[in-house]
Amino acid sequence: LSLPEYGLYRYPHLSEGACLIATPDNPFSPNFGAEPLFLAGRADVLDAVQRVSLNLARRDYSRATIIVGQRGTGKTVLLNQTEELAEQQGWVVVRCTASRGFLQRLVSTQLPNLLAELRPGRPITTSATLGGGPVPGSITVTSAPGHPVARGFVEYVAEICDALGPRRGLLFAVDEVNSASRAELESFAGGYQQLVGREGRNVALVMCGAHSALRRMLAGPSAMSFLARAQQIAIGILTYPVTIEAFRRTIQARGTKTAAQPVLELMAAISKGYPYLIQEVGYLAWDHRPAGDEPGGDEITLDDVRAIAPRALAAMRDAVLGVILRDVRGRYRAALTLIAQHPEIRTAELAARLSIPTTSVGDIHLRLIDGGLLARTAERGVVRITIPYLADFLATDDSALARGDDEQVRALDSFPEV
């Protein structure tokens, strides 16, 4: 996207005529999937991925890792890092997003292409194991009951592994696992399980997904429980010192502007360590006054940061909080709103307010904790909202999403009758 488009896309709430003055050297990148100039923290995550997944020496293990985190916490970025790390070590990486049809795309396009690259000039023999004949253009995925493994998937991967030899492996880097269809993911998991288990192939798997729906999907018998047993790494906000460092290093890396310690601290405090918000706050603060335009334009000041804070939080609401809340409905939403409005609220009162039995509150708590929205506190029955600004958002304005609809209605009404 070009910069004006970027501004329009991201800030639909800016009033008419307002525009973002974007300097081309802005080192912050508030875009989903965009590599941050400085990747803050996460060494522990990459270390775990290295030990568990990128480790051919382990034969007793599934070499499967799943990174779980809310939207905007940096899952895709970590998958990019993993890919880079793996390639440096000689792995061949197959990257995909688990949207509908991903397995079909793997089997019909990505894996055959990879094989052709690895064995230039050699005919692909996989078709032989599929019943002879030339490789069909579209090998269909069977997800018939009792036969959940994708046809062709195992055969292609096995042949790729043969081509790679004993010292190299094939890594699957799968993003947005929560968006997959259950049958398809099960098919993939079944195939992977066979490859890493019975066949002892040099394969590895790193997956990413948002909390919502993911745990529910991984539950139950079958190949999914195999995925559920993968090493799970939860990611979330960064600590205050790491966040300050993120701002310092990002600004330093570009070098055309500076920010004093109190300014770094204020930016960190506003971002609350939420990776997406770090980028958003930094981006807006950097651009608040173009460098060289006025004296001191090469310095980010406390006033700059204070001035952009509301816009950064509005972007957080639109791009992150609103999206997370889309998946929280009914009594779960009602409970979450009550907890936001009354942080000290206890089980009994929550039950009374929602007109449900006290025993059901435990279930609601559990689901919201599983969803990465709540955490227990030391005090029995009292929980805390764990996503920055979500409580404020819910407590002050649970109708914010509905307001979008009103705007639509107003827009609709603005047209003359034909």
Residues that bind ligand ADP (CB under 6 A): 29-34, 36, 39-42, 69, 71-77, 246, 275-276, 278-279
> Closest distance between ligand ADP and the C-beta of residue 265, in Å?
17
Q: Cα(338)–Cα(187) distance, rounded to whole angstroms?
A: 40
168 binds, among Mg ion, ligand ADP, none (CB under 5 to 8 A by kind): none
> Closest distance between ligand ADP and the C-beta of residue 29, in Å?
5
Q: Which is nearer to Mg ion, 208 or 284 (CB)?
A: 208
Binding positions for Mg ion, 30-49, rule CB under 5 A: none
74 binds, among ligand ADP, Mg ion, none (CB under 5 to 8 A by kind): ligand ADP
> Closest distance between Mg ion and the C-beta of residue 33, in Å?
6
246 binds, among Mg ion, ligand ADP, none (CB under 5 to 8 A by kind): ligand ADP
Q: Which is nearer to Mg ion, 157 or 210 (CB)?
A: 210
> Closest distance between ligand ADP and the C-beta of residue 78, in Å?
7
Q: Which is nearer to ligand ADP, 76 or 178 (CB)?
A: 76
Main-chain phi, psi angles of 234, to 5 degrees: -90, 130
> Closest distance between Mg ion and the C-beta of residue 91, in Å?
21
Q: Cα(173)–Cα(203) distance, rounded to whole angstroms?
A: 11
DSSP letters of 380-416? Answer: TT-EEE-STTHHHHHHH-TTHHHHHHHHHHHHHHTSP
Q: Which is nearer to ligand ADP, 77 or 93 (CB)?
A: 77
Q: Which is nearer to ligand ADP, 230 or 316 (CB)?
A: 316
> Closest distance between ligand ADP and the C-beta of residue 135, in Å?
34
Q: Cα(232)–Cα(64) distance, rounded to whole angstroms?
A: 9
34 binds, among ligand ADP, Mg ion, none (CB under 5 to 8 A by kind): ligand ADP
Binding positions for Mg ion, 63-122, rule CB under 5 A: 75-76
Q: Which is nearer to Mg ion, 6 or 332 (CB)?
A: 6
> Closest distance between Mg ion and the C-beta of residue 324, in Å?
13
Q: Which is nearer to ligand ADP, 236 or 297 (CB)?
A: 236
CA distances to 73, 90, 126, 218, 307 from 234, in Å: 10, 27, 38, 15, 33
Main-chain phi, psi angles of 122, to 5 degrees: -100, 140
Q: Which is nearer to ligand ADP, 169 or 275 (CB)?
A: 275
Residue of minimal Cβ distance to ligand ADP:
74
169 binds, among ligand ADP, Mg ion, none (CB under 5 to 8 A by kind): none
Residue 337 parent element (H or E): helix 330-341
Q: Cα(9)–Cα(357) distance, rounded to whole angstroms?
A: 45
> Closest distance between Mg ion and the C-beta of residue 43, in Å?
20
Buried b (16+ CB within 10 A) or exposed e, 163-191: bbeeebbbbbbbbbbbbbbeebbbbbbbb
* Residue 337 and residue 394 in contact, taking contact as beta carbons nearer than 8 Å: yes
Residue 279 sits in the site that holds Mg ion (CB under 5 A): no
What 3-state class would DSSP assign to 203? strand
> Closest distance between Mg ion and the C-beta of residue 68, in Å?
12
How buried is 369 (Cβ within 10 angstroms: 0-12 exposed, 13-18 middle, 19+ buried)? middle
Residue of minimal Cβ distance to Mg ion:
76
243 binds, among ligand ADP, Mg ion, none (CB under 5 to 8 A by kind): none
36 binds, among Mg ion, ligand ADP, none (CB under 5 to 8 A by kind): ligand ADP
How buried is 69 (Cβ within 10 angstroms: 0-12 exposed, 13-18 middle, 19+ buried)? buried
Q: Cα(73)–Cα(130) distance, rounded to whole angstroms?
A: 42
C-alpha angle 98/103/106, rounded to 5°? 105
Helix and strand totals (H; E) in the chain: 20, 9
Residue 310 tokens read as: 């509301």
Residue 393 tokens read as: 């958002």
Q: Which is nearer to Mg ion, 316 or 350 (CB)?
A: 316
Q: Enumerate binding residues for Mg ion (CB under 5 A).
A: 75-76
